[in-house]
Homo-oligomer: A and B are copies of this chain.
Amino acid sequence: MTGSTLPSSSPDGQPGAAAPEALGRAGALVTPAIDEAVRRLGPELRLPAQHHLQGGGKRVRAALVLLSAAAVGADERVGVVGAVAIELVHNYSLIHDDIIDEDRERRHRPTTWVEFGIGSAIVAGDALSTLALQVLLEDATAERVGATVSLAAATQAMIAGQAEDMAFESRPSVTVEECIRMEEGKTGALLSCAASLGAILAGAPARTVQALADFGSHLGTAFQAVDDMLGIWGDPAVTGKPVGSDLLRRKKTLPLATALARDDEVAVDLRELLAGELDEAAVLRAATLLDRSGVRDEMRTFADEHLRKAAEALDRVPLRPGPKAELLGIAHYVAARDR
C-alpha cells in the first residue's frame, strides 16, 4: 500500500507489471484519511472494518479519483475526499460480497464474517457505506453534493450487478448481453465513478466528466474480462483461488456465456458438464473445452478493444497530459494481469 515503483502485486494480489506510481501516491494520501474516518466508529464496528481494511488493497479507485482531479487541472488533493468515499464503498461491498459468496479468505486472511461473525460483518459494511456519505457531505459544497449523487448512482448500479451475478448462478444460461450488463454494473459502475469523481469535485464541465466516466467504464469492462479469465484459467498459486473457481460455482461469467451462446459442439459439451455434478475433473475439462473453443483469445481481444475505447474516451476532451498518461497507465496495469 505504500508508494513503490518496484514490481508489485496487482489490485487483487497477482504479481504483474510494476505498479503505477500513482497507486503509491494514492495510498500515501488516501489510506491515512480512510483510517481516520474509520476511527470515528465505535469498537463493535471499527474492529471488523479495520480487520478488513488491514488486508490492504491497491487503491486503484482512489488513484483514479486523484488523477481525474489532476487531469482537469486541479490539485490531486481536491480528490482525496472522493477517494476516501469511493474506497469506503468498495470495501463495504467486499465485506458484504464475502458473506454472500461464502468466501472464507481474502488476500490470504480470514474474511470479516469468518473472523467476527455474519452479523458483525453486515453492520460493519453498513457503517462504511454510510460513512462514505458522511465524509463527502461533511462540507456540503455544490461539487461535493454532485459527487455524492454520482457515488450513490454508482453504488446502486454496483448492488444491481451483484444481485444479477447471484441470480445468474442458479440459471442454466445467460445471454452475452445480460452478462456484459451485469459486469458493467458489478465492476464498471464504481470504476466509472472513480475515474470522474475527482473531476466532479474540481468543478469540471459535464462533457469532461462524461469522457472520464466513459474511460472508467471501459476500463472496468476490460478489467472484468481479465478477471473472468483468471477465474477460469488462473494459476491457483497466483490467484489464491482453486482451479476454475468461477466454473466450480457455476458463475455465468462472460467467457462461459460467450461459449454457451455458440451453437457448436463445445457448447453442447459444456451444457452437459454444467448440468451434472461439478468435481475438479469436470471443472478442468470445462476449462480445457473453453480454451479449445477460442473463447480465451476472444476475451483477450475484447479486453484490448475496451482498453482502446477507454483511451479514445480520454481523447474526446482536453486533459493535462501527465495525469492523462497516468490514467492510461492504470488502465493497462489493471487489464494486464494475465500477461
Instruction: Give the B-binding residues of A (Cβ under 8 A).
Output: 41-42, 44-45, 96, 99-101, 118-120, 122-127, 129-131, 133-134, 137, 140, 145-146, 148-149, 152-153, 155-156, 159-160, 162-164, 166-167
Contacts and interface: CB of A to CB of B under 8 A. Distances in A.
A159 B130 contact: yes
B123 A159 contact: yes
A145 B137 contact: yes
Contact of A126 (B41, B119, B129): B129
Copies in the complex: 2
Contact of A122 (B42, B100, B131): B100
A101 B119 CA distance: 8
A19 B99 CA distance: 40
A163 B49 CA distance: 12
A127 B159 contact: yes
A152 B123 contact: no
Contacts of A159: 45, 123, 126-127, 130
B41 A123 contact: no
A324 to B, nearest CB: 30
A26 B140 CA distance: 30
B96 A163 contact: no
Given A126-B129, A159-B126, A118 B119 contact: no
B156 A149 contact: no
A151 to B, nearest CB: 9
Nearest to A89: B130
A137 B127 contact: no
Contact of A123 (B100, B130, B131, B149): B100
Contact of A99 (B122, B149, B153, B156): B122
